[in-house]
Amino acid sequence: MKISYHGHSVVKIRTNTHTILIDPFITGNGLTDLTASEEKPDVILLTHGHNDHVGDTIEIAKQSNALVVAPFELAAYLGTKGLNTHEMGLGGAYEFDFGRVKFTKAFHSSSFNSSEDGTIYTGMPAGILFTAEGKTIYHAGDTALFGDMQLIGQRNNIDVAFLPIGDNFTMGPEDAAYATELLKPKVVVPIHYNTFPPIKQDPNLFKELVSSAEVQILQAGEIVQL
């Protein structure tokens, strides 16, 4: 398995058989190394409906016929755009042929702004637990710090956690460092920072605050070292 980071909250997972994209915000993302028209994933996983997470999902899914797995209301909306979707709810898990997906709670908001449809409510925001080939990845999506992260850490042997550190809209470095203590991953990667002025952060501050996991600060296109 190869796990790579591509700026903002974009994560790509390559298993032996599938390519999975998480929150493919590419167009308008000044920190990414990807080009939307060149992406051909088998699966797209979405944490919530904000445009900087849904990103290029519609274009990419149409050109690759990717399965889009998302919280119920978001998946239902994207289904009206002709996409192949699988709807899920928080706390639910499903065994796909590419791996196991479970949506966890996240404390944030979730809506999609469309020039065609206006502002669409897209249900509850979520984090994602993805398990395949003996590895478990936790992508927190956009979230505040919350105590049940301890339960997530106790009930899952997390190899890599992707945690937002941008502050303003999500956890900042201090709260993300405490979240790392609760989750107990082997490796933690800071995400959702420096894309826009309100979320400008120094990831090295986060690294200095974390003592319970290996912190890997990745540039776009770099691979997590497991």
pLDDT score for 56: 98
Could you tell me if residue 226 is inside a domain?
Answer: no
What CATH number is attached to the domain comprising 77?
A: 3.60.15.10
Number of other residues whose CB lies within 10 A of the CB of residue 112: 21
pLDDT score for 58: 98
pLDDT score for 198: 98
- Domain of 169 in residue numbering reads as 2-215
Could you tell me if residue 124 is inside a domain?
Answer: yes
Give the position of tokens 């990667």. Answer: 189
Could you tell me if residue 60 is inside a domain?
Answer: yes
pLDDT score for 174: 98
Could you tell me if residue 221 is inside a domain?
Answer: no
> pLDDT by residue (tens digit) across 40-54?
999 999 999 999 999
Could you tell me if residue 224 is inside a domain?
Answer: no
Give the torsion through C-alpha atoms of 195, 193, 88, 93, to 10 deg.
140
Could you tell me if residue 168 is inside a domain?
Answer: yes
β-pair partners for 97: none
pTM equals 0.98
Could you tell me if residue 222 is inside a domain?
Answer: no
pLDDT score for 97: 97
Report the distance separating Cα 61 and Cα 190, nearest Å: 26
- Stretches in the chain below the pLDDT threshold 70: none
pLDDT score for 114: 93
The domain tally of the chain equals 1
pLDDT score for 48: 98
The angle at the Cα of 55, spanning 110 to 200, to the nearest 5 degrees, equals 80
